Structure 1
Amino acid sequence: MKLSSLYFCFITLFFALPLAAESTLLVDVFEFNSVETQSRAINLARQLRCPQCQNQNLMESNSPIAKDLRLTVYLMVNKGDGDAKVIDYMTNRFGDMVLYKPKFEPRTYVLWLGPVFFIGLFGWLGYRKVKGSIVN
């Protein structure tokens, strides 16, 4: 009985170790010029949304395109490009959907002002309903 448990543990480890080794391969390692450059690249990757996942930023996503875009951000920041240039490059390539905070411009007015409009509308409707029930 004891030998079979030892055999089971050995077989389990034999099949589990390759999975653990594969998960260590998912880590991106970049060499930065300075700590400031590293923090800039990390902050930029956190500000940009993964085009494939759409609910994760580039740092959180493990999709292949997110890995490529992290590399692009790293190369551009390490080359000395500014944050605005990196963001412009990404928005030109993928559109405003890669930004968590899109710019306030005419084509995004609905996005920015829509919630304020609906809160005001529902507040006004609620006020009228309460006012009507008090009068009656």
Structure 2
Amino acid sequence: MPSLILVIVIFFSSFTFADEAGLFAAADSEVEAQVELFEFASPEHQKRAIELAKSLRCPQCQNQNLVESNSPIAKDLRLIVFEKINAGQDEQQVIDFMTARYGEFVLYKPSFRLTNALLWLSPILLLIGFILFSLKSVRSSSNQE
């Protein structure tokens, strides 16, 4: 029972620390208002910007895109995407800007390069290795009978 009380005290004190450290701080109200009330030049710009923001990963919330995330950095990046698309830049220019600043981590579908070839090829290599190991095991068990 005392350990349960200790766990509860530690749990709630972590929220106090996180709040004091500003870990759960929202983006300032000006940025939040700009993102929520952003006006596009045309409905096509709005559609392009939202689709692009959906294809970019939030650097803080690793499993959410910029549209789904409410983190301060996601709101800032959403505003940048909206402004750049509204200014007439195409999707590739915005993607190049984001990857130059945050790396390919912000892309849900990173490009195939020599530096990440193992990441792309490892599932195929593992599957081939599993098939070869299975065939070898089946053949050796049939030879022993």
1:89-108 pair list within 5 angstroms:
89-108=97-116
SS in 1 for 2:128: helix
SS in 1 for 2:63: coil
Q: Show structure 1 runs of 5+ residues with no match.
A: 1-24
Q: Show structure 2 runs of 5+ residues with no match.
A: 1-31
> Take 2:64 and 2:124, find their aligned partners in 1: how far apart are those partners?
26
> Take 2:106 and 2:131, find their aligned partners in 1: how far apart are those partners?
32
Which of 87, 99, 105 in structure 1 is aligned with 2:95? Answer: 87
- Taking structure 1 as the reference length, the TM-score comes to 0.77
Runs of 4+ in 1 over 4 A off after TM superposition: none
* Superposed CA RMSD: 1.6
> Take 1:31 and 1:135, find their aligned partners in 2: how far apart are those partners?
73
Deviation at 1:128, TM superposition (A): 1.1
> Residue type matched to 2:143 in 1?
V
Deviation at 1:134, TM superposition (A): 2.1
> Residue type matched to 1:125 in 2?
F
- Is 1:49 aligned to 2:57, yes or no? yes
1:1-136 pair list within 5 angstroms:
28-136=36-144
> Take 1:86 and 1:100, find their aligned partners in 2: how far apart are those partners?
15
> Which structure's CA Rg is the greater one?
1
- Taking structure 2 as the reference length, the TM-score comes to 0.73
Deviation at 1:82, TM superposition (A): 0.8
> Take 2:100 and 2:127, find their aligned partners in 1: how far apart are those partners?
33
SS in 1 for 2:36: coil
Structure 2 match to 1:16? none
Residue-by-residue CA offset, 1:11-45 (whole Å, 9 max, x unaligned): xxxxxxxxxxxxxx888232111111111101110
